[in-house]
Amino acid sequence: MNNEELLKQCIDRAEKWLGPQYDEETRREVKALLDNNDHAGLIDAFYKDLEFGTGGLRGIMGAGTNRMNVYTVGAATQGLANYLKDCFKDEPQISVVVGHDVRNNSRKFAEMVANIFSANGIKVYLFEGCRPTPEVSFAIRHLGCQSGVNITASHNPKEYNGYKAYWSDGAQMIAPHDVETIAYVNAITSVDMIKFEPNPELIQIIGKDVDEPYLDAIHGLSLDPEADRKHADMKIVYTPIHGTGSTLMYDSLAKWGFQNIIHVPEQDVQDGNFPTVVSPNPENAEAMSMAIEKAKATGASLVLASDPDADRIGLVVRDKNGNYQLVNGNQIVMIFLYYLITRNVELGKITGKEYCVKTIVTTETIKRIADANNVICYDCYTGFKWIADVMRNQEGKQRYLGGGEESYGFLAETFCRDKDSVSAISLMCEIAAWAAEKGLDIYELLIDIYEKYGFSRERGVSVVRPGKTGADEIVAMMKNFRENPPKELAGSPVVAVKDYSDLNERNLATGEVTKLNFPTTSNVLQFFTAAGDKISIRPSGTEPKIKFYIEVREDMPSKEAYEATVAKADAHIDQVLADLGVK
């Protein structure tokens, strides 16, 4: 399609949004797009439909078919409602939970979602105000609902919002429900098909009646209340980065007994414009800078953060030289699982039927920790819906200890089925107290783990290739890596290749091919070297980029050699990336 044809198509689609079925504000915004001589905004808003994918919706807010607005969100909700009514037609009363974060328009969208569900005869439990994403998952299970929706765009910039859809187990949907829901949503082809008129009798406002059991359940995860009590005055800086974490995090930490929580007052303000940061993402140093300055001023050695919808955790620790260092997502998951496994060993609770879960791109050091302590370690695809799938499959057979992924998410509990910063941050404070009992801080604990189980270093690199030509380039890159895998990386032979697109693992020395035990295929490729390095490559499912996850092994001769080993590993990673042709 040439530019003139594309523009004509967009104008035709936009003019339909000037009809009386659309509200005045929307019509005004569309008219402004049509009247603008620069057609870039018009094309971006109307060149395609905002797709309801396997995780729901996510996009920039505004008028248009490719935007988050009451009509695209309404179509998604009507499609989901129709699917629920078909799936649960024998249920006397279908019910759902609806929650939202602090983002602009989140409350408006949440109320509209509740209205549409109620208009379709579905009972709605609507949170009174913003709540952490994991509490929506908890509420679905706690209230016995069939589904749920949370309005959030996680840690994306302020222009974005999103729509996460959950199933009856509190997890985001996987097959068959994800693809079936997508089909039902795509069948909503007209605004007239959306039932906007609410039935107020079917909408029940919830709040503290769910908060309290959620916080009680989180406190039940504590494995060392005595350490918590002894170190109750430990200095802990926490920031919600303007997000919904402030709604419950302080209450949770108080319930665990921690009495010296240092606020970052400017970031306690819940604000969808995230005014003090460029991006509200706790994995970025910039987003943590105000909290780090507060730690320097108060002498705190532990800095914690959650993202806007309070499902991801950020962690900063003070090193032996007094410098504050960001702990990466792999290390965060490793610290959690090291503690949960080690503490269960200390308490004599390991029977051989315990398990943990990590994603295939997360550090292999976790598996070494699990194997050494008679704990089963399951691998799954990226995304907490896959961790939840393992939990679903093992329910009643094995005991879950925890699961996480390199993208700063962890889940310590089974009463929720999505990553949870409220429980994770509470637990990280306990880990700091437990370590203090052993004369360590979190930084020293991290080095101890490496000394005991072997050192690894990880880095993620995203190569952005926008537009159709970029998408074609990404396809070509994956094809080339499959057809011409590197023979060696950083001077070490590549000995095995795992290709999740056909679920085959090939031993390059023997030529032997074995099948990978995964529930479905995925466009992910992994190379393993004789030196113990792991390289994972996958295109992003939501953005125009291809992602490289590099994990390298190095010998760490002593604790004192930690910083030198980190520098050596970083150079090792640089060489791997150079050998892959990644800049």
Looking at the annotation, which residues are catalytic?
Answer: 154
For residue 242, the tally of other CB atoms under 10 A from its CB is 25
**Beta strands 504-507; 513-515: pairing state:** antiparallel
Phi then psi for 155, rounded to 5 degrees? -105, 20
Q: Give start and end residues of each alpha helix (H) in 269-410.
A: 285-298, 329-346, 365-372, 384-394
DSSP assignment, residue 248? T
Eight-state DSSP code of residue 245: G
Question: What residues pair up with 402 in beta bridges, in sequence order?
Answer: 356
> What is the rounded distance in angstroms from the CA atom of residue 375 to the CA atom of residue 368?
10
Taking alpha carbons only, the member of 282, 340, 289 closest to residue 308 is 282
The shares of helix, strand and coil residues in the chain, as percent rounded to the nearest 5, are 40, 20, 35
Q: How many Cβ atoms from other residues are within 10 Å of residue 482's Cβ?
A: 14
Helix (H) or strand (E) holding 435: helix 421-437
The Cα–Cα gap between 421 and 424 comes to: 5
Residue type, 553: R
CA–CA–CA angle 201, 132, 251 (5° rounding):
105
Q: List CB contacts of 483: < 8 A, sequence separation 6 or more.
A: none
Looking only at the bridges linking them, the beta strands covering 56-60 and 302-306 are unpaired
Rounded to a whole number, what is the distance in angstroms from the first to the last CA of the chain?
32
Angle, helices 421-437 vs 133-143, to 10°: value is: 110
Query: What are residue 488's DSSP bridge partners?
Result: 493
CB 80 within 8 A of CB 185: yes
